[in-house]
Structure 1
Amino acid sequence: MSNICKDAVTESHPMNGGDGTYSYTKNSYFQKSATNVARCMIHNAVADKLDISQLFSNFATSSSNTFRIADLGCSIGPNTFTAMQNVQEAIQHKYRLSQSRPHNSSSSSSLAMPEFQVFFNDHVTNDFNTLFSSLAASERPYFTAGVPGSFHGRLFPSSSLHFVHSSLALHWLSTMPKELVDENSPAWNRSKVHYTNAPNEVYKAYEAQFGRDMAQFLEARAIELVVGGLMVLIMPAVPNNVPLSQMPLGVIYGLLGCVLMDLSKEGFISESEVDSFNLPVYVVSPKEMIGIIERNGCFSIEIIELYKPMSSVNNGEITPLTVTMHLRAAMEGIIIKHFGTEIIDELFHRIHKKMEELSNQLQPRTKEGTQLFLVLKRKSS
């Protein structure tokens, strides 16, 4: 395994900070829904897949009985707090069940409930002030620490984590492939901002970058997780052999590109600015993820499931406005970094209008799920 103690050289794409109108805090409704739907799935995964006797037996022979959990790509709340509460409650429940079984030895049955430490990780540009201000105002039954840095590199000491969680973060690429903005490359993404409906060379460039990113991610986590430790990954996904253009995200990304091109034709921005801008997001399929994990070789796939994150949400709550506000909270930072602030209000006003016209296309055209739930366990070798 290569030496990856230093952070990978990555680009930062923070969500909108603070708690204003366009903040992630006020516009992370879809992420909240995903967290709520995943709650039962996490409880079941811990109940069925976490070997409590293996992990907690180490506490009996150690001076520390701290169970360490990391949330990678935590953003600024409040969803990360809900997710961490779900994880902690699932582990506590599993522990109590293990202690109540009559076949437990006297040493294991007398083992005290472990203390919990939660590490909140995101890029150094993340609004940790808002994150920890919110946390300070709430009751929390665990110790906390902020860990700034890219999860595409090492963040923690070897064998120091027992549980890793990451929700709706791994689809962000660490960097954009250079060939996308090279006019001499077959992958030059002229007049588009994503691989949706782009030439196959563009898609392949995105695919290769995501593969490199996930390889680094898994390599780092393999070092940091204890043997038997679990990792729960929740990611936007496409069903096998279904193009992203048939999914709501593909429609939204394509729409963003069209509006930017309209603005360039009207002189708000230059066409070359659009040509050199690409969304650093890749939406994976289950088959792709299985291949990446198997190539790493350090994890067993305990659960892999495509599910519908919005299944518990009323259709009336998903409106063109809520989708636009969500997109702005997530993408405004990288758009401003590339185009400046002058076009932002006009851009999202037009996006909102376009979404009203195309609202029927924001529904999946497949009956399969649009989110991937993965549970991986660290192998012994």
Structure 2
Amino acid sequence: MKDPSLRLVLISTPIGALGSGRGGGVELTLRSLAQGLVMRQHQLTLIAPRGSQRPVGCDAVELVEVDGVDQPSWQHASEAASVEIPRNAVLPRLLDAALQRADNADALLNFGYDWLPLWVTPHLQQPLFHLISMGAVTTVMGEAIEALGRWDQRRLAFHTARQAADFELPNPPCVVGNGFNLEAYRFQAATGGPLGWAGRIAPEKGLEDAALVAVALGERLLVWGLLEDETYAAAVEAAVPPGTIEWRGFLPTEHLQRDLGACRALINTPKWNEAYGNVVVEAMACGVPVIAYDRGGPGELIVPGENGLLVPPDDVSALADAVRRCGDIDRSDCRRWAERNASQQVFSRRVEAWISAGLAADGNITALK
């Protein structure tokens, strides 16, 4: 017997148009999940800021574009920051557009990390689920997620257990990981390439430590990512010898995976509790081992000796030593780990099971197998 199809309304991040890069890893997560759910024959409506792009392969997905001012990211807010909703903000308009279509849907799925969607959830007749994309970066957001967890934790899912541990929840968390279209990442077996680093160019990503590793090893460091903080980038470059950093910019997946796959190792240096670590898995999908601080999501994704190596957080010397040893890792094992744990298919099945179980508990739909 065929499993029933879900009718889902996906609510994109309010930080920027889907495809702009301003939404960071949430954009990649949403795009990949939409593609996976379409392959599993679910019916989707995507609510996103004006200028958004429909994910490739999702021609049947209804894209509803909403005008409004981008929401500030909580990522760089102080711990005591208050809730802020700009004048003419896109966030409430995204919710309004989603609720207008909720009567014809089984559930709404929110990707935006913000206070308003969390607060409104218990007040809605329509079931609203949340894929939480960050840890407890501020007190008010931590409290909002914990309050919703006390009301009905089945509405919450997290990328990693380490991320979920930021919150006091009444029950063990639902961890769904993340997923990627692995067909878009070509495995490269060569082991003698340069060192790489990828991510938003911002202080919490710790690029300066990776640059110091390159200096210690007398090598250059290829850097990919959205330039979010120009002052920070200039300071990192000024602190190392000229030519140490080679800026490669923010590239589409097709070009990123080609260049990243030629590296002999990806250095990952989070200074905060990274919820997952998309670039970690993107590198593994290309066969590139990842050398990372044992902090946040990357510390949960890396199996030492199989797909990378972990070192104590903020220990640059240990990071350099681990890079020297990365040649012992079989690059095909990196790819196999990604196929087992982080494919589009694996991710979409986990999310499907989470939402279906929550709906079944509400009496709305029979749980999928």
Q: TM-score, normalised by structure 2?
A: 0.34
Richer in helix (by share): 1
